[in-house]
Amino acid sequence: MDYIVIVFAKFVGFISGLLGGGTNLPGQIALKFRPNILKRLVRGYRVILVTGTNGKSTTTSILQNILKQTGKRAVFSASGANMKGGVVSCLIKNFPLFRKIDGDFAVLEVDEAYMRHITAEISPEVIAVTNIFRDQLDRYGELDKTLSLIEEACKKAPDATLVLNGDEAMLGDFVPENKRFYYGFSVPPRSGEKPGNAEGTFCKNCNTPYTYNFLTFSHLGDYSCPGCGFHRPDIDLSVDEIFSISQDSSHVSMGGMSVSVPQAGAYNIYNALCAAACGKVLGVSDEEIKKGIEGQKSKFGRQETVDIDGTSLRIILIKNPAGAEEAITSVLPDKDEVSVGVLLNDNVGDGKDVSWIYDVEFEKLSTLQTKNVLVGGTRAYDMAVRLKTAGFENLSVYISYDELLETIKGCGGKVYLFVTYSAMTGFRKFLHGKKYIKKLWF
């Protein structure tokens, strides 16, 4: 019966893909007929789950690229659909009808709040946690709630090795007793960094403000508590030297291994480092890790560059204060004249509360040689007001994607377009329909 349901769901997914449909439908159909089909779908795989507030999709994609270098098949949730329907859809799409799964890898991005439902059914070999930031307060609440949801999920997978961001104080005294592997920075990516947005900067044990030897960004870094002595754990794999960081890439040393990270920003160094740490735990060689990272291409909407009739459009996902701050910082090294845009939505995938935009220092963008400032999305006027308060005067607000596209065509040079999640998927679908993007889902 499982096999019949899988074949039928694969067919539905194929037709849905031809019609430009969503990525959850095959999984939803399979779960309707076989609620426990996830156990069947992961049989034979070495399963790695990736969760956390920021970086899940990019980390998953990099890790899949690393694991491919081993010669084994590595499937991953390319669309970013990270609840049960999306996870099942990914596995159905990649389910081999005419061969046995034996030691292949399944790298699955999983929503922080939903992961406990996944680990209740399957036993992953590795669980990677990227970070914990304030995000979608209407869904997650505050940081301690997100932490408790992730801890609950990990407790249900006692045999999994936890790959944890050692620079994330929220993960420094993780409740589950699983085997752990920590990654982090031994040197700061920037000098003089100060804690951003005042989240996660107080000791989770005694509420004393942390002191830092250095910060990477927001509250991440080499922390310690002067009140109770709680401090950063020993790091198993670290960025021990930074050779260069530009608006396009970074060149660093990870555990003595020289690696070029082909995406901008410290947060993408973290994503590559997390993927490398998972590779280490899974027994992948340094050479294969390096090749996987350096051969990585930008995932859809995550610093993806699209040619719009000669204008270079870079689409950059933002969804919370910490992530938006780093996304902005990543483009600041650019000394060319550029245009900047922000598409702000308040749909379910974005979070209904958009007040977080006032916790983001959009003022930093004023250091760029900005030619045009473009604003759109369901909350375009809220975003326009925020940018006005940041000192930008000549704003253009666009209600339709057609008008926005025509303006982008006329910008020439480079356009950095910061977008929330549903704005990213919606605008990419629009560009796909206009033939500027070949593949809607990677």
Q: If we measure between CA atoms, which residue out of 42, 156, 35, 20 comes closest to residue 90?
A: 42
Inform me whether the pLDDT recorded for 26 exceeds 80: no
Inform me whether the pLDDT recorded for 380 exceeds 90: yes
Report the CATH fold assignment for 38-294.
UDP-N-acetylmuramoyl-L-alanine:D-glutamate ligase (3.40.1190)
- Integer CA distances (angstroms), 329 to 104, 265, 316, 339, 430, in order: 38, 7, 12, 15, 27
Exposed, middle or buried by CB within 10 Å (0-12, 13-18, 19+), for 3?
exposed
Verify whether residue 353 is a known catalytic residue: yes
User: Look-up: residue for tokens 């070495």?
Assistant: 46
Residues 6+ apart with CB under 8 A from 51: 109, 110, 111, 112, 115, 127, 128, 129, 130, 150, 153
Inform me whether the pLDDT recorded for 86 exceeds 90: no
- The DSSP bridge pattern shows strands 257-261 and 369-376 to be unpaired
pLDDT at 441: 60
Contact 360, 325 (CB under 8 A): yes
Inform me whether the pLDDT recorded for 136 exceeds 70: no
pLDDT at 2: 76
Please, where in the chain does CATH 3.40.1190.10 lie? 38-294
What mean pLDDT comes out for the span 187-200?
A: 74
CATH class of 302-433: alpha beta
Q: Give the DSSP H or E segment for 315.
A: strand 311-317
Contact 183, 165 (CB under 8 A): yes
Q: State the number of CA atoms in the 13 A half-sphere of 1 facing the CB.
A: 8
pLDDT at 212: 94
Evaluated on CA atoms 267, 140, 341, 368, the torsion sign reads negative
pLDDT at 29: 79
Task: List strands edge to edge, sheet with 250-254.
Answer: 74-76, 104-109, 45-51, 126-129, 161-165, 180-185, 237-245, 250-254, 257-261
Average pLDDT, the chain: 89
pLDDT at 20: 60
Q: Give the DSSP H or E segment for 46.
A: strand 45-51
pLDDT category, 6, cuts 50, 70, 90? confident
What mean pLDDT comes out for the span 41-48?
A: 93
Residue predicted with more confidence, 286 or 30: 286
Q: Give the DSSP H or E segment for 372.
A: strand 369-376
Q: What's the CA gap between 355 and 343, in Å, rounded?
A: 15
Q: What's the CA gap between 280 and 27, in Å, rounded?
A: 31
For 325-353, the pLDDT digits (tens) are 999 999 999 999 999 999 999 998 788 88
pLDDT at 264: 87
Please, where in the chain does CATH 3.90.190.20 lie? 302-433
Inform me whether the pLDDT recorded for 197 exceeds 70: no
From 353, 359, 382, 402, active-site residue: 353
Inform me whether the pLDDT recorded for 442 exceeds 60: no
- Integer CA distances (angstroms), 284 to 7, 68, 250, in order: 33, 10, 22
